[in-house]
Homo-oligomer: A and B are copies of this chain.
Amino acid sequence: MRVVFIGTGNVATILGRAIHGAGHSIAGIYGRDTVKTGALTNLLQARENGPIDSITAEADMYILAVADSAIESVASHLPIHQKLLVHTAGSVSINVLQKAGRNYGVLYPLQSLRKERVDIPVIPFLVDGNTPDTLTIIKDLAASLSDKVVVASDAERMKLHLAAVIVGNFTNQLYTLTADFCEKNKLPFSVLFPLIEEVATRLKESPPQSFQTGPAIRRDQATIEKHVSLLEEYPEIKNLYAIFTESIQAYHKNKR
């Protein structure tokens, strides 16, 4: 398949590498920033490049990988018509692409993508298309990149994006607050890495509720009080400690 990228950020870079690596050809890279456009053109061995309003490359799919808030306006000004245009956003409706051309869809990588990453992580894709034929083309491209391709409507994709924010961003904020707590107490945060990995990877075996352990589910009030007393200088963590302890105990209240 011949693919054009509009945008030069994390998504364009990692998706571009995955698509190039899967044997497709990158027909063009278009972006606002000449330096970034040039660099990505080299990296992906793209045939053409230029500013967004100058798209001339012929391709089977045009992938719009720009900021969520820019998708609609960029799409409506693209000098391409009757082409297949997709966006890559979790929480933007497929319908914002309606004006741009006859065929459109969504190719949303449900993963945290960072340019800096050397190897490409496993990327599940949520896909959608305005017609069955369009959807088939998008699904086929996604299937050439990943074993996990799920057809998802706007509503389903937005809910999974919300779920991704919780298990990705909120979890990462718990790591952040804990890393700071360790640093302030001169303790090595890295000693927690094996536990963090274990908790994340065992989900493949059984649902998370079956793995819950710790003082909250044991209703071990002595340990809970010791922990709270250690958090006097950390009001934000103390508040989260109370909220999560209550949440765990309420969730498992009929199980002990």
Is the pair A171, B198 in contact by a Cβ cutoff of 8 Å?
no
Protomer copies: 2
Contact among B69, B166, B179, B226 with A220 in the assembled complex (CB-CB below 8 Å)? B69
Instruction: Check A199 for interface membership: any CB of B closer than 8 A.
Output: yes
Complex Cα–Cα for A184 and B189 (A)? 35
Count chain A residues whose beta carbon lies closer than 8 angstroms to a beta carbon of B: 86
- Contact residues of A between 165 and 212, Cβ < 8 Å to B: 165-179, 181-182, 185, 187-204, 207-209, 211-212
Task: Please measure, in the bound complex, the distance between the C-alpha atom of A152 and the C-alpha atom of B187, giving whole angstroms.
Answer: 9
Least Cβ distance of A220 to chain B in Å?
Answer: 6
Q: Are B211 and A172 in touch, CB under 8 angstroms? A: yes
Q: Is the CB of B194 within 8 A of A122?
A: yes
Chain A contact residues, majority secondary structure: helix
Note all chain B residues with C-beta closer than 8 A to A216: 165, 169
Question: Does residue A106 face the partner (Cβ distance < 8 Å to B)?
Answer: no
A contact residues vs B (CB 8 Å cutoff): 68-69, 91, 110-112, 114, 121-124, 126, 148, 150, 152, 156, 158-179, 181-182, 185, 187-204, 207-209, 211-217, 220, 222-223, 226-227, 230-231, 236-237, 239-241, 243-244, 247-248, 251
